[in-house]
Chain A
Amino acid sequence: MRGAEISGCEGVLSLDRAAAGCDFEVRGLEGPACRQLREIGFCERMRVRKLTDGRNFLCVVCGTRLALSRSLARQVRVEPVV
């Protein structure tokens, strides 16, 4: 688990694989729900904090708490903020 957390905080990866408790920056979106994700706040260069893990999980984007499903999170590419 610890190892997974460390790997989840390194390099560009999809948000569903990112570790909870880390801060990320959105690098891009790929998939059919891009427009919907951008509208709600997951747009390029936006900072995201992943709060929880699970089937649906919580993120904070621009001061707003958003709940999203794992399948949607797979469409968001993020990079850890160092």
Chain B
Amino acid sequence: MRERGKNGVLPKVALVGHPNVGKTTLFNRLTGERRKVGNYPGVTVEKVSATVFTPHGKKIELVDLPGCYSLSPNSPDEAVTRDVLLGDHEGESRPELVICVVDAASLERHLYLVMQVVDAGLPVVVALNQADRAEAEGLRINREVLRDLLDVAVIPCQATNGQGLVDLKQTLRFPLPAPVSRQWKGPAAVESAIQKLTRTLAESGVSRPEAHAIHLLADPDYRLNGQARVLRAAQIEARQTAAGLIERDLKPEEVISEARRAAIRGVVRAAVVRRGDEEESRSDRIDRWVLHPLWGWVIFAAAMFGVFWTIFSFASIPMDLIERVVGAAGGAVGSLLPEGDFKDLLVNGVIGGVGSVLVFLPQIVLLFLFIGLLEGSGYMARAAFLMDKVMTRAGLSGRSFLPLLSGYACAIPGVMATRTVSSAKERLLTILILPWMSCTARVPVYLLLVPLLVSGPFAQTLVMFLMYFLGTVTALGAAWVLGKRVGRGAPESHFLMELPPYRLPDAGYVGRQVVDRAMSFLRKAGTIILGLSILLWALQAFPRAPSGEEQDQFSHSLMGRLGHAVEPVVRPLGWDGRLGTAMLSSFAAREVFVSSMAISYAIDADGEEGEEAVRGRVRERIASATGPGGSPLYTPLVVLSLLVFYVYALQCLPTTITVQRETRSWPWALGQLAGMTAFAYLASLMVYQGGKLLGF
């Protein structure tokens, strides 16, 4: 046994299991971390790790690996798990113990992965999660028999409430258990082929030759795919060995799979007793309505509309409060300081700029609260089931729905979540259209502009809903068009998804998720938006107009000149130079549009008004702004043209970087940025010019 903990490398323990089995919940319980969990498959798409202490105080690294049904991956996230377990992941040492998290109520399905981990030559502990639910469903699992037959420790636990964690931690004590021998035996010809290939691989210098030999024979893709992280020489040897077996009418992958399953059937027969027939569960009864061909859609539409309506109507109380606090802060700071640039910077630049964005915090909190509740309850997977029909028409599948839905919160996790999409073509299409899902950074812009278009919470909710709908429908249309050009000849993909049982969302996790998102929004307001607000203020405050008159200042300032320069480009959209500048500044972060407008219009305001808070004032100023001829500058048509631009424009540098990382292609990432910007401009142009032709 190698000496542990030397050279600063901590002994590693990995958590492995099916998607949505509770690995991340267990990981959070064992480490005290707050990784995202949700009641749907594919929440963890990359490995995450943290250090924990064993019962004897030794430090170890605990790794949460993406969920997979087997070590033969169907998607990029599953390939990470296989490569880490076989020790082929670049820069990543192999775990010294694997905790296989299995669902006690569905043991037979989960033991296949356990068998594969044992075959990889790794020591295993089985965490029998949801043992209580299995008992309630009439399953009695004899843990002693299971332990004896599998020859590994079996620990019943309940990840959600921490039951069994002490016992599980006890298995992490040193010395860690040794690997056990595999539980199945194939026909003599296959066994002899495994032995021969193991010897050949060992002679060729392949590490863990038996684990690689079994996996190369059991997974045709692993031995045929040139991208697999395994020595080419090993693949060539394995192909020859497999060809020899196939000539004898023994497909190694089928023979090995059946041998494993026969062993599992034996284990389950001996260790599991089912009392009575399976009865219709509560989830089945709920699904009868939620997945109904008609009522399912009614419930879906009502849920989505309800979320937006609540955001508009309930958030107004805390928003008014924040407005008053920001206004009072501006007033207090303004009254303490003498007139001058410094006061102007603090009141109009810092407080006015950041305050105009900060006021949207309650709505963002509410949006994430609802997303958390829907995720935690298990409804998200049902929404994917319903949406599959729509997505298929666009050349995607229900699998793409969850990443797209994440895009409503933020495009970056959405793009990363596409790793769960098995078809490469579907994955690329999903990444390309994803930024058209209206993310929360657009929310402040919508909330500023929608009330300029219509009044009353119902009409505003409807317009807001339509903005989301417009982005989504265009995205699906674009997927349909692009699908005909991208990845031609790609194999047909099918919808296959596990629907988790309905659960009461865990208040702690939902709360933490909401707090984390709120903090991230506040951090952004305190860093990027603050910095840009100061910069924007400076651009509008300098150089000073020689006349010293407020009305001359904007046109004399750097921002006024910049606005003048971009005006010919944005004039066909119905915008003036201020809007053009605000649009340009929001390429750094969309929310800056609001602070840019706030700063821009605060300069025209007299001192008292400039100290008042922010959002309503900005909106009032925009609504009352007039052009050179005295006609209103922000007509409903201009506001609509602006809204359409913000629905379609990809104004988020981190998203472009993430797309490049996930597609490994700058042409795709930059093409997406250029394409979406051009589309936004053209759509906005069509709205404004079309509206004018129609006499609006």
Contacts and interface: CB of A to CB of B under 8 A. Distances in A.
B499 A43 contact: no
Nearest to A74: B494
Contacts of A22: none
A54 interface: yes
Nearest to B284: A51
Contact of B496 (A49, A64, A72): A72
A58 interface: yes
A39 B112 contact: yes
B316 interface: no
A60 B495 contact: no
B496 A36 contact: yes
A62 to B, nearest CB: 5
Interface in B63-90: 69-70, 72, 74
A64 to B, nearest CB: 5
Given A40-B69, A69-B494, A71-B494, A46 B108 contact: yes
Interface string B269-295: 000000000100001100100010100
B496 A63 contact: no
Contacts of A33: 494, 496
Interface in A32-82: 32-33, 35-41, 43-46, 49, 51-52, 54-56, 58, 60-69, 71-72
B291 A58 contact: yes
B265 interface: yes
B583 to A, nearest CB: 42
- Interface residue SS majority, chain A: mixed
Nearest to B277: A23
A67 B287 CA distance: 12
A62 B499 contact: no
Given A64-B109, A66-B499, A39 B389 contact: no
B499 A58 contact: yes
A61 B495 contact: no
B220 to A, nearest CB: 9
Contact of A68 (B112, B258, B494): B494
B261 interface: yes
B70 to A, nearest CB: 4
B278 A65 contact: no
B498 interface: yes
A5 B265 CA distance: 31
A38 B219 CA distance: 13
Contacts of A38: 257, 261
Interface of B: 69-70, 72, 74, 103, 105-109, 112, 134, 137, 139, 253, 257-258, 261, 265, 278, 283-284, 287, 291, 293, 381, 385, 388-389, 398, 491-492, 494-501
9 contacts: A39-B69, A39-B112, A40-B69, A49-B278, A52-B291, A56-B389, A64-B109, A66-B497, A71-B492
Given A39-B74, A62-B106, A66-B499, 8 more contacts: A36-B496, A40-B496, A62-B107, A63-B137, A65-B498, A65-B500, A66-B496, A68-B494
